[in-house]
Structure 1
Amino acid sequence: MDWISPRSLNRLGMLNMNRRNVDYIARYNERSSYPLVDNKLKTKLVVAEYGVKTPKLLQVVKQQHEISHFREMAEGLVGFAIKPAKGSGGKGITVITGRDEDSFIKASGARVGTPVLERHLTNILAGLYSLAGTPDVAIVEDLVESAPSLARYSHQGVPDIRIIVFRGYPVMAMLRLATTASDGKANLHQGAVGVGLDIGTGKSLNAVQFNRPITLHPDTGLALQNIDIEDWEEMLEMASRCYEATGLGYMGVDLVVDAHQGPLLLELNARPGLAIQMANGRGLLPRLRAVESLKRPHFTPRERANYAMETFASL
């Protein structure tokens, strides 16, 4: 895997936070669209109208008295995920992967009882994990079972794919792999591994942890240079379709490959981070400018995905 230093990356057009905020987020993202992406429940509902699949919704808990229904709903379930609708950075998400008599088994292997999960739902409603600390809604979704070809690279967590979409064009992508350091979450700031992906093929390019180059996953020990994402063209088209669904000109689209349902949308982000550039070993600016300079933009998600695959493929 070739590695490019941060200094060299600057010369290759690395987008910094100030420019991202002023030239792209503020310029291309209408404030009226933010509630669609800052609320996971609203996201699920709006993207469904545009043919973008998400994990099956099992329950919505809006009021304290509805928590009693959770116990009944979860009685026959082996696995599920509880999420705060307005949470960010993976905070407040609890993933249950199995049962042991009256106990639920978390992704980490820890066992918890129903009262613990009910208290967690209460905390979500109180806004403990919401962006502004305001009252929130809890959603319970079907468990995502990652495709084995990707699951083996991740440690105690579902790997996901972050795609930066600009004006409907997928311009850069990375695979995020959970680690012990990240506590099973695909969050690069907490220590997850970021693997840059070739937009043209879905194959791995470079890998980083804490912005430092690595070639092996720190927990699984697997080499990271020969990863090949399944259903790559479909994923790019799904990401592109989120532009029509939200109207956001600059966003992060987080997808997962489910073992049974294929690609699913996990969430959208109107303020995606910039570590994806380190994972790819190249900057975003040249690609963003290429899209901005298009004289005749492509009108369909498929056309935009095809353009991206042809134009931004790594040589």
Structure 2
Amino acid sequence: MDWISPRRLNRLGMLNMNRRNVDYIARYNERSSYPLVDNKLKTKLAVAEYGVTTPRLLQVVRQQHEISRFREMAEGLGGFAIKPAKGSGGKGITVITGREDDYYIKASGSRIAAPDLERHLTNILAGLYSLAGSPDVAIVENLVESAPSLAKFSYQGVPDIRIVVFQGYPVMAMLRLATKDSDGKANLHQGAVGVGLDIGTGRSLNAVQFNRPITLHPDTGLALENIDIEAWEDMLEMAARCYEATGLGYMGVDLVVDANEGPLLLELNARPGLAIQMANGRGLLPRLRTIESLKRPHFTPRERANYAMDVFGAL
């Protein structure tokens, strides 16, 4: 954050980690809801009841003996994603985009043999990528094909949209674009680009990489100032619905725009990071306090999304 002075950070209403942990995560998130968002399989099943779509589930591998069915299931697929249900930070996720002879082609372009994928599934079950190393299950999902209007901005990886939702209201959003530095993953700590989005319109505001402002994607060379997210209202309503689905008062909702199926939920995060503020060039605190001061909360996800668009748009 060294490109913005501490005085300006305060003036912008930046939320710091201590205040986030104490005043928002601890206060508004029931501990009993954490297992729901820390497990991607449980998340998929829970949000489906509230009309939130996710990538199609192809297989769940819970036991070692079930791995033998994986190769048969994947035989006719052009692409898929393997994920540890309890993984965090993108660890353990393997994205396959095609086949070449006896090999699968990863998103990075490298090849991997079927026995290596099966060993990867074994590692997932053993808890190699899960929180606290606890035994896990592997989920195999349909491959997300990013909408071309967004895919062109990202380097190899699928771009996603992080929306911070507070008490059911979308309060801040950013687009995350993969880079060479981030190894094709949309992880800002690893070097992905964060593009702040106007809550009112879904259009890009500012962009940062490694917490420093940029105007062009470092690998694609494309300008980041005129990005427009498709189906923006629907995405905000989808994010707002996750409040009813989980009961979490403060969370990050990660969405993608699929070329064929439109907006899809990737995962939820009960402890969303703070870099979204840098991408937007403004702080979360004023928006959080606005929601806290509401005398009459809005009861439907659509009403909450519309309120957020009207009040926080272009701020």
Q: Secondary structure at the match of 1:145?
A: coil
Paired with 2:231 and 2:73, the residues of 1 have a C-alpha distance of 33
1:154 is aligned to: 154
- Identify the residue that residue 39 of structure 2 maps to in structure 1: 39
Q: Does structure 2 conserve the Cα–Cα contact (< 8 Å) formed by 1:37 and 1:269?
A: yes
After TM superposition, the structure 1 = structure 2 runs for residues 211-290 of structure 1, keeping only pairs within 5 Å, are 211-290=211-290
In the alignment, the residues of structure 1 paired with residue 128 and residue 185 of structure 2 have an alpha-carbon distance, to the nearest angstrom, of 19
Aligned residue number for residue 114 of structure 1 = 114
Whole-Å Cα distance in 1 between the matches of residues 260 and 150 of structure 2?
13
Shift of the alpha carbon at 1:27? 0.2
Aligned to 1:72: 72
Aligned counterparts of 1:121 and 1:288: Cα–Cα separation in 2: 41
Aligned equivalents of 1:220 and 1:173: distance in 2?
Answer: 22
Aligned counterpart, 1:194 = 194
Evaluate the alpha carbon distance shift between residue 209 and residue 75 of structure 1 in structure 2; reply closer, same or farther with a 3 A threshold.
same
Check the 8 A contact 1:125/1:138 in 2, yes or no: yes
CA distance in 2, matches of 1:157, 1:307: 32
Query: Structure 2 CA distance, aligned partners of 1:5 and 1:187?
Result: 25
- The Cα shift of 1:173 comes to 0.1
Structure 2 distance, partners of 1:70, 1:209, is: 38
Q: In structure 2, what is the Cα distance between the partners aligned to 1:256 and 1:10?
A: 32
Task: State TM-score, norm by structure 1.
Answer: 0.98
Amino acid corresponding to residue 91 of structure 1 in structure 2: K
Q: Match for residue 133 of structure 2?
A: 133
Deviation at 1:9, TM superposition (A): 2.6
Structure 1 CA distance, aligned partners of 2:5 and 2:198?
19
The AA in structure 2 aligned to 1:217 is H
Name the counterpart of 1:308.
308
Deviation (angstroms), 1:215: 0.4
Q: In the alignment, what sits opposite 2:9?
A: 9
Contact kept, 8 Å, 1:4 with 1:281, in 2: the verdict is no
Normalising by the residue count of structure 2, what TM-score does the alignment of the two structures yield? 0.98
Shift of 1:11: 1.4
Q: For 2:161 and 2:13, locate their aligned partners in 1 and report how far apart those are by CA, in whole Å.
A: 22
Aligned equivalents of 1:99, 1:293: Cα separation in 2: 54
Alignment of 1:161-200 (within 5 A): 161-200=161-200
Shift of the alpha carbon at 1:223?
0.3
Equivalents in 2 of 1:150, 1:273: separation in Å?
A: 23
- Output the CA distance in 2 between the equivalents of 1:7 and 1:210: 21
* Superposed displacement of residue 4, structure 1: 6.0
Mapped to 2, the partners of 1:27 and 1:207 lie a distance apart of: 31
1:270-295 CA distances to partner (integer Å, 9 max, x unpaired)? 00000000000000000000000000
Q: Does 1:88 align with 2:88?
A: yes
Q: Give unpaired runs (5+ residues) of structure 2.
A: none
Deviation at 1:10, TM superposition (A): 2.3
Q: Which runs of 5+ in 1 are unaligned?
A: none
Structure-2 change in CA distance of 1:5 and 1:152 (3 Å):
farther
CA distance in 2, matches of 1:292, 1:39: 29
Contact residue 6 and residue 278 of structure 1 kept, 8 A: no
How many Å separate the matches in 2 of 1:173 and 1:163? Answer: 4
Q: Quick one: structure 1 residues 193 and 5, their matched pair in 2 at CA, closer, same or farther if it must change by over 3 Å? A: farther
| 1:56-93 deviations in Å (ceiling 9; x for gaps) | 00000000000000010001011000000000000000
Determine the C-alpha separation between the residues in 2 that align with 1:256 and 1:292: 29
**Are positions 1:56 and 2:26 aligned together?**
no
What is the CA RMSD across the aligned residues, in angstroms? 0.9
Aligned length: 313
Say if 1:9 and 1:281, in contact at 8 Å, map to a contact too.
no
SS of equivalent to 1:132: helix
C-alpha distance after superposition, 1:152-208 (max 9, x if no partner): 000010000000000000000000000000000000000000000000000000000
Name the CA distance, whole Å, in 2 between partners of 1:42 and 1:259: 25
Query: Once the 2 structures are TM-superposed, how far is the Cα of residue 5 of structure 1 from its aligned partner?
Result: 5.3
Tell me, in whole angstroms, the C-alpha distance in 2 between the residues paired with 1:201 and 1:182: 28
Q: Which amino acid aligns with 1:10?
A: N
Q: Distance in 2 between matches of 1:9 and 1:304?
A: 28
